[in-house]
Amino acid sequence: MKELVFVTHNKGKIATAMKYLNDVNFEIFEYELDEPRSDDITYISKYKVMEAYKLVKKPCISLDAGFWIDALNGFPRAFVNFALDTIGIDGILKLMEGQKNRTCKFTECLSYYDGKELNQFMGYDVGTIATKKLGTDSNKKWSDLWYIYIPYNYDVTLAQMSEETRENRVRYKSVDAISEFAKWYKSGMNK
């Protein structure tokens, strides 16, 4: 298999990649890629993987995600980092006060670029928003949303789950982009 580089500074994304790509020859290049202003995570992921390739000159991947809240017309969408930096978890909970519909979802796009061809893999995870911040910190966390996100068919936030429960949870209404990429990559589709 070809050498693969994951360009990111997000420790949680690195932990997830290590889980699914543990038998793939890949390396981490810790770097914060520029992120274009867009509401389209496929465009953002494509832009970032192209930037990553210019840096490392090797086949690489980039992962970008968004968070959609039904009751808030999809807010914050692809602008989740901006929302967390400005209003934070407490602000999101304030916006959700009195809302009966607490359905939300993560969407993610993993882009792979080898210098010639771009392949993208989509993922999503449906759940609900807790009424308050719950749980403990973890080095596997890829977002503060873990404190308020309750996966479908569970009654606790990701931050409340033990590492074992989180890693082995039955994923209802979800697809993991890194897992989908790993299956494709390991099958030799990248040749």
Structure tokens at 54: 């210019």
Would you name the residues annotated as active-site residues? 64
Report the SS3 class of residue 114. coil
DSSP 70: G
User: What is the signed CA dihedral for 178, 168, 175, 35, rounded to 10 degrees?
Assistant: -40
Where do runs of H (alpha helix) occur along the chain? 11-20, 41-56, 80-86, 88-95, 163-168, 177-186
Structure tokens at 152: 């479908």
The single-letter code of the amino acid at 155 is D
Q: What residues form DSSP beta bridges with 6?
A: 28, 61
